[in-house]
Structure 1
Amino acid sequence: MCLSINIRGFFMPQQGRVQAERLNPMQQMVKVSQSQKLLSWRQPGQAKQSWWRKHQLELIALPAGVLILIGLWALVTLIGNYPVFILPGPLLVFDKLIEIVADGTLWFHTQATLTEIMGGLALGLSTATILGYILAKSPILERLAGPYIVASQSIPAVAIAPLLVIWFGSGKLSKVLICALIVFFPVLINTIVGIRSVDPGLKTLMRSLRANRWQMFIWLEVPAAMPVLLGGLKIGGTLSVIGAVVGEFVGADHGLGYLINLSKGLFNTPLLFAALITLSLISLTLYLIVTGLERWLLAWRR
């Protein structure tokens, strides 16, 4: 009897704790989260090493790819012995790039193109996001407006650009509108897909918690659609560079597109390559900015 009492007295507190934990799921969640934090905690040196291991392929691949491309370019020009106006070597292009940077020519044309790109991105992204959200919430309106939107995108931007230059002149406004038109469609489609990809079960849960439309938008729809929206922003950022160049081809007296046209007429191929390299760097910079923004905004998903 005494033995049984001791055994029960020994085990009852543990049973009581088990029952208490079963009756308090919130405490279980807190304990689990605390244990996860303890398991995921690292020393600063370990965190740096893990970051390097995770991104070392990206950090090595890009410079290595550029060096390989430049090496192949130099090899082709050396073996082929092409004239300078056909295919200049990397050193000639680099010298020309240094020259137009030193005399301010490159910055004069680059800032004009950057202004058009930023204006076109702002106009195209805002318009496409607002309209995409409206169409995503109203399938009837999408069925009515969808054919007209698709038909407008079937016309090449090169064909619309002269008309916009006639209507709005050869200033920055026509170039901004061309950029916005090119950016508009992919961002619109991504917005519709992103908003409609929200889990219906989560919507039901938010309604059961008496969330209003604004709270549903801020706390559910925007976070759920963010990966798709940022994918559209990546596409739109690179396409905006194309839009600016197309507009400058049609009618402009400054900008990198104008510089390409000028160098083509003068058979100054090193200058043409320098302008193309600058455009590539702008596109790459926009892509990396959006990628960094994506990692920052979507850190909660990892």
Structure 2
Amino acid sequence: MAQHTIQGSFPKHTLPVYSNGLVWLRRLLPILLGAVALGLWTWLTRDGGGFMRATPGEVLAAYGSMISSGALLQHITTTLAEVALGYFMGVSLAFILGYGVSRVAVVEKLVLPYLVGLQAIPIVAVAPIIITYLGPGLFTNGLICALIVFFPMLITTNVAIRSIDHDKREFMRLMSATWWQTFTKLEIPAALPIIFGGLKVSTTLAVIGAVVGEGVSAEHGLGYLVYYSRYVFNQSSVMVGLFTLMIVAYGLYWLVAQIERYSLRWQR
């Protein structure tokens, strides 16, 4: 049989090329935005913070005082411990149940309606009940974090597993793959991109859960710092707590994003 060689050029996918000026502009934009926000804040408090407002200088002084005394570190470690515990519990249970819901129709019909109904109850209404029965502490606040993380992660897992191509499942079946082989070689790799989206969102939700729990009953934590400082009208400490919560949430989000980048490097 004659062999024919097809000659010609094929279009290549190229990444957009940015000039050095645009690259630096993209890097500087967040800094510029922060500078504008700081300038606006300074202008709004130009007459002094007074009783209800805090100036940037007052917040900076409060930061210095709390860092030097070790109080801020104690609040951060308490909140991080609650977030870590709640994140682990919520994500683990959500993945197990979400996988079961996606693979077994009976489980979906039995469990999902109740979970949707429970999700409609605000966590701020549930938190006092949980603390009343279990008492305040690390586990209780971790459980509140787990509850707020659980449902979004369950839905993410369900969608991720269901989105796997049926032809790929059929191929694994034809190759006589075991359940474990299908789970590790097909389902996990195929579902990871979607699951990591849920994991990143869950980091910020876990921080919110910790703040809710600490606001109801706690003696330490960033949420406690915000609530207590608000009650005593210490606006500088309120801003310290809020800014630190933002930094913690972004740091956790960034950490999961780096794990995602490493885990999915085979896609690039």
TM-score (norm 1): 0.79
User: Could you tell me which residue of structure 1 aligns to residue 33 of structure 2?
Assistant: 65
Shift of 1:57: 6.5
Helix, strand or coil at the partner of 2:121: coil
| Structure 2 CA distance for aligned equivalents of residues 294 and 253 of structure 1 | 35
User: Could you tell me which residue of structure 1 aligns to residue 264 of structure 2?
Assistant: 298
Give the number of the structure whose alpha-carbon radius of gyration is greater.
Answer: 1
Q: What is the percentage of aligned positions where both structures have the same residue? A: 40
Find out whether 1:278 has 2:260 as its counterpart. Answer: no
Distance change in 2, residues 1:161/1:297 (3 Å): same
2:223 alignment partner, one of 236, 257, 261: 257
Q: Which amino acid aligns with 2:29?
A: A
User: Could you tell me which residue of structure 2 aligns to residue 218 of structure 1?
Assistant: 184
Shift of 1:233: 0.6
Q: By percentage of residues, which structure has more helix?
A: 1
Distance change in 2, residues 1:221/1:58 (3 Å): farther
Find out whether 1:104 has 2:70 as its counterpart. Answer: yes
Find out whether 1:115 has 2:73 as its counterpart. Answer: no
Find out whether 1:93 has 2:59 as its counterpart. Answer: yes
Helix, strand or coil at the partner of 2:41: helix
Shift of 1:202: 1.0
Shift of 1:55: 7.5
**Equivalent residues in 2 for 1:51-62, closer than 5 Å:** 59-62=27-30
Q: Deviations over 1:218-275 (max 9, x none)?
A: 1111111111101111111000001001001111111111111221122110011001
TM-score (norm 2): 0.89
| Structure 2 CA distance for aligned equivalents of residues 215 and 64 of structure 1 | 50
Distance change in 2, residues 1:53/1:297 (3 Å): farther
CA RMSD of aligned residues (A): 2.4
Unaligned runs of 5+ in 2: 6-11
Asked if 2 retains the 8 angstrom alpha-carbon contact of 1:117 and 1:244, the reply is yes
Asked if 2 retains the 8 angstrom alpha-carbon contact of 1:84 and 1:269, the reply is no
Asked if 2 retains the 8 angstrom alpha-carbon contact of 1:125 and 1:183, the reply is yes
**Equivalent residues in 2 for 1:18-33, closer than 5 Å:** 18=3
2:43 alignment partner, one of 48, 52, 75: 75
| Structure 1 CA distance for aligned equivalents of residues 242 and 163 of structure 2 | 38
| Structure 2 CA distance for aligned equivalents of residues 233 and 54 of structure 1 | 31
Q: Which amino acid aligns with 2:174?
A: S
1:157 alignment partner, one of 107, 110, 123: 123
Helix, strand or coil at the partner of 2:45: helix
Unaligned runs of 5+ in 1: 1-14, 22-38, 41-48
